[in-house]
Structure 1
Amino acid sequence: MQLSSGLSGKEVAQKMLLDNGIFDVQVMSTDGQLSDYYNPQNRTVNLSTDVYHGRSVAAAAVAAHECGHAIQDSKRYKWLYLRSEMVPVVSLTSNLLQWILILGIMLIGFTGNPVVLSLGVFGLAVVTLFSLITLPVEFDASRRALLWINNNHSVKFSASESQQAKDALWWAAMTYIIAAIGALGSLFYYLGMLFGRGGR
């Protein structure tokens, strides 16, 4: 559904930032789909092409959500900072984790040595912790986005548009919950493998 205001995702983001007294964050377009994110290092709201140029309620909701992260940054929201500090470690761990787990399973199967699998489980625990820390960060950003959508005066959202934005952000939040549940499931699976076979 098109926004009654006719604003693009870029324009929605710029207005939300200004309404919250944030003047040093740049709104940029980035390639790809579902590639929307806020970068606290260079203070940029990066919107995928469809969101940046889009004039739908969904595009406005995504743009407002990413600006929610910029507001978190301006207010020094502790969970955002903790997640940001973990990003380099999690990126490195995620790239190596699959191979460490495969090697660990092979070694524990052939030699009974659990050391490599233990390292893999530790790395998986770090990734799982990151997924859990992501939840309050994302939910809070959506809360800030909806607060602005429902109460701002520079952009008027109709009641139906506000509800559609709420629904869009709710479904987006579900993807983070599913990811966290999946990470927990994998962690428990490999913990079971480690302690179930490591002592043989």
Structure 2
Amino acid sequence: MIILFLVGLFVQWRLRSKFSEYSQIPLSSGLTGAEVAEKMLYENGVSDVRVLSVEGQLTDHYNPQDKTVNLSPDVYHGRSVMAAAVAAHECGHAVQHKVAYGPLQFRSAIVPFVSISSQYMQWILLAGILMINSTLIPLTIGVSLFAVTTLFSFITLPVEFDASKRALAWIESRGVVSQREYGVAKDGLKWAAMTYVVAALSSLATLLYYVSILNGRSRD
């Protein structure tokens, strides 16, 4: 648990470091992140998705509910390799939505349940620990809810890796980046993906911890 926590901190630091470094490398094609996004959406036949600018740093995301690609100011207005890579990655999710990519559909389907689980599971787990000597029901429910959030974390992995794969293939084939810039973009998206890997492993480790508590009490 502690090791994963430290690894998570390192990955977050490394991502911010890479983002800052690669945001200083100008894109040879001269496109802004917003222009890259619009171009990728158009060339993939996605006509019902808007590209918006949202406040914050590393707040870039695709919202399948209102069909918007939301880019942070540095990405939306930026003309760097990192801006292009991030913009294309988020559009990769929009393309996944258009082609009904299985893992994305499944993840979207369980979002409402995950939201409810995340809202209440910590309180239920706490109640389960406090009541563990009298009943295992609350802890069992809490562990079940946590298992759903862990499943969500692992479903997210193929969704993120596939979006990056689509993004990199497109920016290379359309000449948005040079050969050198392609390597930079690939490295930046790799570190972004690592944050999801660490989050999934951390969630799994925590789940196994609670499962061990539950199994230990059930044998008593």
Determine if the TM-score, normalized by the shorter chain, exceeds 0.5: yes
Unaligned runs of 5+ in 2: 1-24
Q: Is 2:171 aligned against 1:141?
A: no
CA distance in 1, matches of 2:145, 2:46: 37
Q: Is 2:174 aligned against 1:152?
A: yes
Give yes or no for contact 1:58–1:165 (8 Å, CA) kept in 2: yes
In the TM superposition, residue 159 of structure 1 has moved relative to its aligned partner by 1.0
Identify the residue that residue 215 of structure 2 maps to in structure 1: 195
From 190, 200, 206, the counterpart of 1:170: 190
Q: Is 2:99 aligned against 1:79?
A: no
Give yes or no for contact 1:112–1:197 (8 Å, CA) kept in 2: no
Partner SS, residue 198 of structure 1: helix
**Same amino acid, percent of matched pairs:** 58
Query: Which protein, 1 or 2, shows the higher relative CO under an 8 Å CA cutoff with sep ≥ 6?
Result: 2
Size of the aligned set, in residue pairs, is 196
TM-score by length of 1: 0.94
Give yes or no for contact 1:64–1:145 (8 Å, CA) kept in 2: yes
Q: Is 2:145 aligned against 1:123?
A: yes
Amino acid at match of 1:101: L
Amino acid at match of 2:26: Q
Identify the residue that residue 180 of structure 1 maps to in structure 2: 200
TM-score by length of 2: 0.85
CA distance in 1, matches of 2:186, 2:87: 13
**Deviations, residues 122-156 of structure 1 (Å, cap 9, x unaligned):** 01100010011111111110000011011115x3x
| Bigger mean CA deviation after superposition, 60-69 or 13-22 | 13-22
Q: Is 2:64 aligned against 1:40?
A: yes
Amino acid at match of 2:143: V
Identify the residue that residue 115 of structure 2 maps to in structure 1: 91
